[in-house]
Amino acid sequence: MRIGIKSLGCPKNLVDTEVICGKLRESGYIITEEMENADIVIINTCSFIREAVEESIEEILLLAKLKKEGRIRYLLVSGCLPQRYRENNLIQELPEVDAFLGVGDLLEIDAVIKRMGQGQRQTIYQVSPQPQFLYNHHTPRTILTPRYYAYIKISEGCQNNCSYCLIPEIRGNFRSRKMEDILEEVKALEERQNLGEIILIGQDTTAYGIDLYGEYKLAELLKKLSLLDLKNLKWIRLLYTHPAHYTEELIEVIASYPKICPYLDLPLQHINDKILRKMNRLISRESTISLIKKLRERIPHLALRTTLMVGFPGETESDFEELLNFVQETRFEKLGAFVFSREEGTLACSFPRQIPQPVKEERLEKLMLTQQEISREINNSYLGKEIEVLIEEIVTDKTESFLIGRSKYDAPEIDGQVFIKMDKANKRDKIQIGIGEFIKVKIVEASEYDLVGEYTGEIGR
């Protein structure tokens, strides 16, 4: 039986999709990227905010059309959408779907498919109300990223209870994987596919270990990962850190071990104290500024990425200007922003003084235009400097040849790229640079997001 799988949403959701693929392959199914040639199509959905819900439903309806035309037999919807709306009647809303599978039920995928294959007429609804699933290094998993990097989910769920967020409701209580289990997974993956980069993810990576060991253990995990005897692993990247959960030890470890990228994903959401309290962010303006100062003082050549929210209920023009001034003064190397989404089931949904959508959009545009100028100036500072780049794509034809890659200051599919010019003397067939290799590049051009460089003739390894 041929199964097509589509994954929506963030890297954390992608890991779930990889677990589904691994389980199916272990059970003897054939995985295909061609949806129209599949017996079953599985769509692993996201529903964090309204836009994600709308995208998920749109994709489901597109696949339902293929089913109606007889090009696929069964349609299965997994992940956040059925988990979020488990108490609603999705069966009536989406009658084209043959089965729904929650985020805590991923390993039931084979049993669900067998039930569908038996011709069961009633829609299958396998959605546990309180998900507890947490994969380990024995769990079958098919890596869907390019062979040279992989996401490692070190924890699941969340306990922060931000007032605008549904993650605890969708993903369940915070739970960490055992440290030894994570180390074994990394060793096995590196041996199997020569990993050059691992990216640690979770809803809140800085809270790692608090449930298992009674204290934050991310620093120890990073140290042990850095000391593993792995010949290919060069970069360890950290995403989704919470500013309230940094420890002195964590900062020291990041600063001390060369394999840990000097790149920190630090979602702040806002800087105004009133807004931060209403968001339940567990940190103040003063503590945030103090943390950023400490990080930049102690971690050499640090690139900070943050995420900010505009238009939270009660955000005045003065509050927004405070946020804008903070961005101008702090000068984040990377910054993403989005407007507050009023999600049913969150505390913030019922907060008074909701901001009109046009005002939210106007603030977002103003913020991003400000950041564009900052990003351009920061990227211009790389001109003439030499950096290490991980090659991800090779473009060559009769007239030109160039490479595309990332620096250690750029996360895949989130941040900018480095475009590397190759002159006639440095054609790919002469220097034999392959995808997944690290090379040294001299930067010669810069824009607000991307860099252009020239190959220096040095291999990074």
Least Cα distance to 66 among 29, 39, 87, 46 occurs for 39
Pairing mode of beta strands 260-265, 235-238: parallel
Residues forming beta bridges with residue 198, ordered by sequence position: 150, 236
The mean pLDDT value for 168-176 works out to 95
**Six-digit token pair at 313?**
């209920």
Domain assignments of the chain as residue spans, ordered by start? 2-126, 149-380, 386-459
Query: Lowest mean pLDDT: which of 43-52, 219-228, 363-372?
Result: 43-52
Q: What per-residue confidence (pLDDT) applies to 427?
A: 52
Give the model's confidence band at 458: pLDDT under 50 very low, under 70 low, under 90 confident, else very high: low
CA distance 303 to 126: 42
- Residue 248 clears pLDDT 90, i.e. is over it: yes
3-state secondary structure of 19: helix
- Residue where the block lists tokens 């089931």: 345
Does residue 245 or residue 423 have the better pLDDT?
A: 245
Distance from the Cα of residue 292 to its chain's centroid: 22
pLDDT tens-digit map of 16-30: 999 999 999 999 999
**26, containing H or E segment:** helix 11-26
Q: Which residues contact 159 (CB under 8 A, 6 or more apart)?
A: 168, 173, 174, 204, 207
Q: What are phi and psi of 348, to 5 degrees?
A: -65, -20
- Residue where the block lists tokens 């819900």: 53
Please state whether the predicted TM-score (pTM) of the whole model is above 0.85.
yes
The mean pLDDT value for 113-126 works out to 84
CATH number for the domain whose boundaries are 2-126: 3.40.50.12160
pLDDT tens-digit map of 288-338: 999 999 999 999 999 999 999 999 999 999 999 999 999 999 999 999 999
pLDDT tens-digit map of 70-90: 899 999 999 999 999 988 878
- Residue 37 clears pLDDT 50, i.e. is over it: yes
Q: For the chain, what is the mean pLDDT?
A: 93
CATH number for the domain whose boundaries are 386-459: 2.40.50.140
**149-380: what fold?**
pyruvate-formate lyase- activating enzyme (3.80.30)
**92, containing H or E segment:** helix 90-93
The mean pLDDT value for 262-286 works out to 98
Kindly report the number of other CB atoms within 10 A of residue 161's CB atom: 13
* Range 247-256 contact pairs with CB under 8 angstroms and sequence separation of 24 or more: 247/216, 247/219, 249/219, 250/206, 250/216, 250/218, 250/219, 250/222, 251/294, 251/295, 251/298, 251/299, 252/219, 252/298, 253/219, 253/222, 253/223, 253/226, 254/222, 254/299, 255/298, 255/299, 255/300
Under a CB-based contact definition with an 8 Å cutoff, are residues 100 and 123 in contact?
yes
